[in-house]
Chains A and B, each alone.
Chain A
């Protein structure tokens, strides 16, 4: 028993592990709540594209600041919000189908980001940091930013809960009730953007969509209430963050990948369990 407690406690004696745990849990909760809307509205591809689209912004910030990582959050935030509203605009006013235009923008921007980063000597290391995240390098300052901006996202979701639910379930009802549909749609896009920026250091650009979608989808299988779905998703995501970091610590695997894999295993377990119980 004591060995198990030691096993649990050992990683927490490192400050970077403590910060990493807190970051993973906070990010997990925010992603899970926003991700519930992403899942219900079928926006997984949008979320994935958005995450990739911010790479040139991060790269630019990285080049401008000469390699410092502390200011990257602001670059990520700015690019994400612009990209989210931009994608929203393109998909509305285009003759090309929405997913195609998103695909074009996303791949192009991603390539631009890779190109920019490739001008730096430590290209491979930096790129993988942005792509897959590195929650163990989260600074105290970044932790505050995650807390503040994640908190704002959750607060707005809480404040507009019934509006977002009505709009997601029945957009025509929302329109006949004269809810500000355009504003709410853009607000949701902006919230996803902020979430992406907040999560950047934890899971990185490439794995972001998993944090948005997987815990929420797991919860979706288990409940018939939106509020319960959000809370369950947050629980799954936090747990995946903690377990993932232990795996990362003891098996020396990349932290972002470990978190996402844990979340994926949760999903598979629930999925199989549901299938078995359904019979």
Chain B
């Protein structure tokens, strides 16, 4: 169905097979099958409503599939706390009375277990995570006082504090200025040596091509899933984006008029 790389590394971090998910009464994903290798960084691209968020939430175990299955390191996602989910910034209540460090500590809720309060060790982990994303000096700030890029880095720190091995990011770059986007992408680059597997939903085909090992082109089904140069062909893109895509000069250069629909805006104080 799509170019599938068959070489299995030991156990796949993530194996999705014949996944069909209905969301709000519609088929959001249909017969999606793929797997990820450990430490791989993958971009999911596709038009609005293609099912990118649904796929991410199903892998996270937040949505239940109608059929098919998701396996994380060989078992269902329900039992795994190693999945770091990084939400779209527009879905967050930024006026919630918590500091940056509080939010990052939330990532440790599961590891801490019930009736347990953060120990010295947990605060050390939180502090290290904040240092990694260069927010250590802002740890006591209320979260609305961060810029868009800093807010995104805070959530990455939370996934680090969670000791996530699979990071799922829903449009982390949307609405950020270019330097902030670069900052996030550089951060992801550094995760490669730690073997953190990363899956990012994005609108930006250029960034997907230049920063990720593989690209998944999604429109309810997987149109293509391979290395960037094998995915970003006119045929594939037309199948994914349909009429919303305009070929430029009949070449492989394409532009989409598909963009962030969330009305994102940075608020910096």
Contacts and interface: CB of A to CB of B under 8 A. Distances in A.
Q: Do A and B bind each other?
A: yes
B96 A169 contact: yes
Contact of A159 (B84, B87, B115): B115
A176 B142 contact: no
A220 B98 CA distance: 11
Contact of A40 (B79, B96, B106): B96
A224 B142 contact: yes
B266 to A, nearest CB: 19
Contacts of B75: none
A177 B81 contact: yes
B259 interface: no
A223 interface: yes
Interface in A68-106: none
B35 interface: no
Given A159-B115, A224-B99, A224-B142, A177 B93 contact: no
B60 A176 contact: yes
Contact of B98 (A163, A165, A173): A165
Interface string B92-129: 11001111001101110110101101100000000000
A179 interface: yes
B43 to A, nearest CB: 20
Contacts of B87: 170, 172-173
B65 to A, nearest CB: 15
Contacts of A165: 98, 102, 106
A175 B61 contact: yes
B97 A172 contact: no
B130 to A, nearest CB: 17
Contact of B61 (A40, A163, A176, A228): A176
A163 B97 contact: no
Given A170-B92, A172-B60, A176-B85, A40 B117 contact: no
B60 A220 contact: no
Q: Main SS of chain A's interface residues?
A: helix
The number of chain A residues touching the other chain, given as a range, is 20 to 34
With most chain A CB atoms within 10 A of its CB, the pick from B103, B106, B117 is: B106
B211 interface: no
Interface in A215-230: 220, 223-226, 228-229
A178 interface: yes
B4 interface: no
Given A172-B57, A172-B87, A178-B81, A166 B106 contact: yes
B27 interface: no
A121 interface: no
A44 B82 CA distance: 35
Nearest to A174: B109
A279 interface: no
Interface in A150-203: 159-160, 162-163, 165-166, 168-170, 172-179
A174 to B, nearest CB: 8
A177 B78 contact: no
Contacts of A229: 97
A176 B164 CA distance: 11
A242 to B, nearest CB: 26
Contact of B109 (A177, A224, A225, A226): A177
A169 B62 contact: no
B264 to A, nearest CB: 18
A178 B85 CA distance: 12
Of the listed residues B81, B85, B97, the one surrounded by the most CB atoms of chain A closer than 10 A to its CB is B97
A176 B79 contact: no
Given A162-B109, A170-B87, A172-B62, A224 B98 contact: yes
Contacts of A160: 114
B115 A178 contact: no
Contact of B97 (A174, A178, A179, A224): A224
Interface string A114-154: 00000000000000000000000000000000000000000
Contacts of A174: 109
Contacts of A159: 114-115
Interface string B23-35: 0000000000000
Nearest to B95: A220
B97 A177 contact: no
Interface string B62-78: 10000000000000001
A179 B96 contact: no
Interface in B136-184: 142, 158, 162
B81 A169 contact: no
Query: Which of B57, B60, B110 has the largest count of A CB atoms less than 10 A from its CB?
Result: B110
6 contacts: A163-B114, A165-B102, A169-B93, A176-B62, A176-B81, A223-B97
Given A169-B106, A173-B106, A178-B80, 9 more contacts: A40-B96, A40-B97, A159-B115, A160-B114, A168-B96, A169-B93, A170-B87, A172-B85, A173-B87
